[in-house]
Amino acid sequence: MSGTTDDDDHRLEALGYKPSFRREFSNLATISFAFSIMGLCSSVATTLNTPLLLGGPASVTWCWLLGSCMCFTLGSSIAEIVSAFPTCGGLYTASAQLCPKSHRAIVGWIVGWLNILGQVAGVSSTEFGLANMIWAAVSISSPTFQLTQGKTVGLFAGLLIVHGLLNSLATRYLAFATRGFVFVNLGATIVIIIVLLATTPRSEMHSATYVFGSQGIINQTGGWNNGIAFLLGLLSVQWTMTDYDATAHISEEVRRAAYAAPAAIFIAVIGTGILGWLLNIVLMLCSGPIENLPGISGSAFLQIMVLRMGTPAALFLWSFVCLTAFFVAQTALHACSRTVYAFSRDHGLPDNGYFGHIASSTRTPLRAIWFTTVLSILPGFLDLASPIAANAIFALTAIALDMSYIIPIFLRRIYANHPDVNFRPGPFYMGPGLLGLAANVTCISWTLFVCVIFSLPTVFPVTQFNMNYASVIAVGVVFLSGVWYVLSAHRHYHGPSSNLDAETKARIGLEEVQPESSSISEKEKDHTFVSSDSA
């Protein structure tokens, strides 16, 4: 194990960073982390209303299959880059290394902010979804219960504080706990599938034409044609199968990171895609009359379980669905805090590296963890003042993350022969031929297409209350981050910067790169780097 850790640390040093974390995540813990960040049954539970009630059962089943196949090309392309750059900066660090030196700072800056804000919105929306799932169970058991925004936001904030406390534990405890997440996640999904099939009379199951055919296209958008209504079903699978690079953000805590992190992404995408399709098919078979959904709970998923299993059994299994969502929020906060740490370490935040600090007691970035926790609570509090604004921020997740994913994939191809860029593949590599190129082109094209779908209003007539503001916020993030960089941030941020001492730099052959700006200090110049192995 010591030799493996040494190899990982040497590889990290070659990328310009001092090993600061303990590598406690085994192969099982890493795979479990990758599965948990997607949270199959809980993510389907929180998003099922959208495809089912807008496009119908056929939209649920076919859009999941189509979306998961396309997500496989994106997951493979991301895994390839993560294998080459196994740092907690993830695709943010990779983006800056896959473009010419003159562009590294601005590219790293924009991708970094897209990724951080997408992850913060993801943590916040996942936790908000968990709070609503818990209150949905209360509504089923106590039909007279009156839910208020204050109760939802209060539970949301309390859950985030609990996750902040759990993430403050040392890495060995986090790794130990994470190992069990995958068994709850996949186990709950499989049990729900079996119990639904066992408790639904054959005579009450829907026909194949309802689940897979034209009978199952039920357009309830109020204005879109059947084609658009059908494609809105992609929102569920794309929201579920996102945050692929979360495993990359813990790679400095993973043993054999260049192997384990990309393999975990690859396995999780395949497993989630296949099992998720089966779950959606069974849910549609057993769904009962669509006019009775989503029911008193507001969750079509829970209402189907109650219809077929009865309230006690449904609530018992629902507790495991909620536990899966709890694990999603736990791993999402873990990954996001490491991204904040990495961005601060590279002087991307105006904090003089304050959040890029590792606590000696736990060897974890406690400052970044609690900064991320507080930042994630803010959108929830915004719900008290303006639910429209809060939902718009929640909707930012998929677009911001997906855009931050395809930028490094695009850069790797467009600058493949540039003298400043020398992409050195890691152990997970699809090769220089048609396979890798096809996967890259497909995932870029698909992501751009899906971002258009993400930007459409889902129902008509469009009002200020149901307008989809996700694209406006995503473009605003890019624009404002660019303005911030030009006006101020270029003085303290010059792209990924080494935190190695001069002796280590000399030993491994890091070349210093002088930023174009003449206003920075000699100390700042010393930190801007490019590895002779990677560029």
In this structure, which amino acid lies at residue 85? F
* C-alpha to C-alpha distance for 326 and 331, rounded to whole angstroms: 9
3-state DSSP call for residue 425? Answer: coil
Chain-centre distance of CA 263, in angstroms?
Answer: 17
Q: Which residue reads 């709950």 in tokens?
A: 188
* C-alpha to C-alpha distance for 239 and 84, rounded to whole angstroms: 26
pLDDT of 1: 52
pLDDT of 302: 94
pLDDT of 527: 46
pLDDT of 461: 87
Q: Which residue reads 């709890």 in tokens?
A: 326
DSSP for 337-405?
HHHHHHHHHTT-STTTTGGG---TTTSS-HHHHHHHHHHHHHHHHHHHH-HHHHHHHHHHHHHHHHHHH
Q: Is residue 396 within 8 Å of residue 477, measured between CB atoms? A: yes
Return the C-alpha torsion angle 311, 313, 315, 317, nearest 10: -150
pLDDT of 71: 93
* C-alpha to C-alpha distance for 511 and 505, rounded to whole angstroms: 8
Q: Whole-model pTM?
A: 0.90
Return the C-alpha torsion angle 380, 385, 386, 390, nearest 10: -10
pLDDT of 511: 54
Residues 6+ apart with CB under 8 A from 406: 74, 443, 444, 447, 448
pLDDT averaged per 10 residues, the chain (length 535): 69 84 92 93 92 94 95 94 91 90 91 91 92 91 86 94 96 93 95 97 94 93 92 89 85 92 94 96 95 89 95 95 95 95 91 92 94 93 74 77 92 91 90 93 95 87 82 85 89 83 67 43 44 42
Q: Provide the greatest CA pair distance for the chain.
A: 77
pLDDT of 295: 86
